[in-house]
Chain A
Amino acid sequence: MNKTSVGERLFDWTNMAVMTVLIVATLYPMLYILFSSLSDGNRLISFDGILLWPQGFSLDGYKAVFSNATFLQAFKNTFFVLIVGLTVNLSLTAFGAYFLSRDGVLLGKPIMFMIVFTMFFQGGLVPFYLIVKEYGLLNSLWALILPSAVSTFNLIIMRTYFQSIPKELEESAFLDGAGHYKILFSVFIPLSMPVIAVMILYYGVGHWNSWFSAMIFLRDQELFPVQLVVRNILLENDNANMIGTSTLQHSQSVAETLKYAAIMVTTAPILLLYPFLQKYFVKGVMVGALKG
């Protein structure tokens, strides 16, 4: 009964082989960065071919990253944007989602339409830039927080979740004399931890990975977030001021591994956390897809 045919077994083995190739192709670039970041710079420069383990071993790249003032300042800026940004994101999204999940509010539908409309029509990059400039946000970290305070996609995910909370809970709270704010904070929020986790992840990864707004809105290097500093190092070889070493040869060697160490330091936090959080991310996609 359960005997598998030759054709079926051939299919299974081919499938496994294709998947293995895909896994290698996905992982290798990341491993390459990891190996390079741990290598000895001079040996790395002269190395040709496929890197399968670190060339020599040295933590100079990481030391250069963590002892560098520009980098440390950039981390501070990114954490500021992350913490303040998340606070703004979460409060506005929760307020918006709660309002939009209420029945019997006269302006509920028009307001929902007004919000969803922005998913299809935007003013475009240049008017957006000029307006942010007119608000006086240029060269301020608030330019990385306020213009992206609410993501419509996330707002809809949270609203969908709120709509699935049984009405009886809310009604009994009303009978006990609770107002909307009390109901939101003591009934809805405690019941919505999975979706709040999704929100923290989506908004958080967004802040952590963002660089373009910083590039167009910020002028002073002291304000740059981590990703913008990394971009300048990777793409413009702007690492001369990163390394304070004596000999030319040594500084070239550190410059080589510094690039890879910088990538590791900015990417590793997400990649290390991610397997534990995977199910929440996936849940977010699913809830979003149901509505979207």
Chain B
Amino acid sequence: MSETRLGKDLIRNKWLYLMILPVLVYYVMFHYVPMYGAIIAFKQYVPSKGIWGSEWIGFENFQDFFSSIYFFRVIKNTVLLSLYNLLFGFPAPIILALLLNELKSSVFRRITQTITYMPHFITLVVVAGIIRYFTLSDGLINDVIAFFGGERIAFLQQPESFRAIYVISEIWQQIGWGTIIYLAAISGIDQQQYEAAKIDGATKLRQIWHITLPGILPTVMIMLILALGNLMNVGFEKIILLYSASIYETADVISTYVYRKGILEFDYGYSTAVGVFNSVINFGILLLANYFSKRVSQNSLW
């Protein structure tokens, strides 16, 4: 019965299905086949046998990772870098959006928006280049430090400065762009509330605290869930452009470790296992964050 229904539908909409066919082929070839290819996490990968022919070894790759000296280090670095980024990088665009909204001059507001959105479009290659030149021991930042009588430090060679460099440059690049969604939420707030508050003599700060913030809270919660879901997902692009063996101690995260082990050292099965481990943890955190948000504020992704 249902088969004939499907058959009829396929015939009736054949031109539509023909349209989606190349898109489906793309998703199968470049998303689902690699997803299935992740089974090499459970295999002893041998190039001559390929992904499908290599032998199963169960959880051996995972056990190797759990007992490796890098296990603790990459997890700690990933979590810390992410937490710092969340702690400073998440509120930054919210604060900027609140301040932009209070600017009296709309021309000045538009100029600020246009300029702060710009870094979002600069490629990471260039951002990393700028960071590198500015933090050199004879670079701009050290020139300023030396001018005030401080000591010159080659920041990018210091394990203890890496997290600050990462988070500050992240804020520099994304703070403006991040405001778009909050500004939209602010513009949806009923203006009469502000009129009423003004008549009651509420100050600017009180208006922000009692009207604007509660007004954008649902948006903030959704963005927070998404950010938490990405907590263990520190991207490798910026880090591999910036780090060097001398700062692996703080800069080496799960994704950079996977990149080095897999792409540079050809340890395919092992690095895939590390990646799979990471995805599972990520998805778990996303579910948890979603669950708590649902309980606490009735906002959730699904």
Contacts and interface: CB of A to CB of B under 8 A. Distances in A.
A123 B20 contact: no
A53 to B, nearest CB: 15
B126 A125 contact: no
A156 interface: no
A175 interface: no
A22 interface: yes
A263 interface: yes
Nearest to A146: B30
B288 interface: no
A227 B34 contact: no
A285 B185 CA distance: 13
Interface residues of A, number: 85
Contact of A26 (B33, B108, B118): B118
Given A11-B102, A127-B37, A274-B118, A111 B20 contact: yes
A286 B272 CA distance: 35
A150 B115 CA distance: 30
A146 B275 CA distance: 23
Contacts of A282: 180
Given A19-B99, A26-B176, A180-B19, A289 B112 contact: no
Interface in A106-126: 106-107, 111, 114-115, 118, 120-126
Nearest to A33: B130
Interface residues of B, number: 86
Nearest to B112: A19
Given A270-B122, A285-B180, 13 more contacts: A96-B20, A99-B23, A102-B16, A114-B27, A123-B33, A123-B34, A123-B38, A125-B262, A130-B51, A150-B26, A234-B126, A285-B177, A289-B181
Interface of B: 5-6, 9-10, 13, 15-17, 19-20, 22-24, 26-27, 29-38, 40, 50-51, 96, 99-100, 102-104, 108, 111-112, 114-119, 121-126, 128-130, 132, 134, 138, 140, 143-144, 147, 172, 175-177, 180-181, 184, 203-205, 236-237, 241, 255, 258-259, 262-263, 268, 271-272, 275-276, 278-279, 283, 286
22 contacts: A22-B175, A30-B118, A32-B130, A111-B24, A124-B275, A125-B236, A125-B258, A126-B272, A127-B272, A128-B34, A130-B34, A131-B29, A146-B26, A149-B26, A205-B121, A209-B123, A211-B125, A235-B129, A235-B241, A263-B130, A267-B126, A286-B184
